[in-house]
Structure 1
Amino acid sequence: MVTLHIAYTEPVNGNDSDGLILTREDVWNGLKLKARRPEVFIPSFDNSRVIEERENGNVIIREAHVAADLHESPMAGKWVREECRLHEPIGIYFTLPGGSIVQNIISEGPNKSLFLTFTYDWNLPDIEPGTPEAKKAESDHMKIAVSSVQGTIRALRRMATEKSDCS
């Protein structure tokens, strides 16, 4: 079995010329929605359902459907049950079947700039360390990490734009 340890970070307010500046509250509110409706944010999910909420909504058990055309994932076309633990205001920790862990972290850098980091500890029981399959899995899962962070930031920015258009 191989466990992949992957992290990817992007600035929330990048060098966009649109002038829209997201706040920590904007990002946190988006991540709370992402725990309930991941398909709005993550290209690799195409459906979801909340099974249970506990501890005033700080623990969410959900099922998310991995898109069938996500060839990078061994879970393509399957439903995955996840436990989501919200830790306001910094992030959400997701526990997946088989003990894999995903974290969505909001952090602050110089000049109070915001960053969004997703970390992954993916357990892949059918892959042996050091094999070509392990190298390919690492590359494939990094692509998933990049698209997940970028998709989340795009969705957060789109939601903020729609919100300001309604004001």
Structure 2
Amino acid sequence: MSTHNIAFTAPLNPTGASPILNEGQIWRGLLLKIKSAETFVPNAIQSTTVVSEGSDPETGNPVTVRDITFVENKRKVRETVTAYKPSRAVFVQPDGSTINNIVSEGADGELYMTYTFEWRHPDASPTELKAFLYKEKQMMKLAVEGTIAVLRQLATNGKI
């Protein structure tokens, strides 16, 4: 099986950004993203349908099962999403592909958003793998930067 492990990081509050996002706003935004991914990455995800909400019986962390529909090929995928306040959300797909949305703090207290992707392609040819990797790298950058832009817009409008 072939797996692509890739990541992208961007500052949440780069110089000149307004408004400055705080950890509470960022967390509320990530929780919203779990239920409405298309709000944050409309170029990649067409729709999100929440199937169930609950909590992990051992940790108490919120767990959401959702169906997402991708824009490109209208493919539907059921994901199980676990939220780990205040720093990450983990999205697991049935084939084992995993996406992490991580909020971290730098040495001087600056905040960063990192997405890590473990995309599994069990039956892909070498040519297909190369094409998948190219698309995945483009998508991760757009996803991180797009999410930050939407977070800032939601904060400006008082929605998070």
State TM-score, norm by structure 1.
0.87
Aligned residues: 154
2:18 is aligned to 19
2:142 to 137, 144, 147: 147
1:102 is aligned to 99
For 1:153 and 1:18, the matched residues in 2 are separated by 11
CA displacement, residues 125-147 of structure 1 (integer Å, 9 cap, x when unaligned):
2214xx23322221111111111
2:132 pairs with 1:133: no
For 2:24 and 2:105, the matched residues in 1 are separated by 13
For 1:101 and 1:64, the matched residues in 2 are separated by 14
* Amino acid across the alignment from 2:12: V
TM-fit CA distance, 1:110:
2.7
TM-fit CA distance, 1:2:
1.0
1:53 is aligned to 53
2:32 pairs with 1:37: no
TM-fit CA distance, 1:22:
0.3
Give the structure with the larger helix fraction: 1
2:94 pairs with 1:90: no
* Structure 2 residues without counterparts, runs of 5 or longer: none
Kindly tell me: are residues 40 and 159 of structure 1, through their superposed partners in 2, closer, same or farther at Cα, counting changes over 3 Å? same
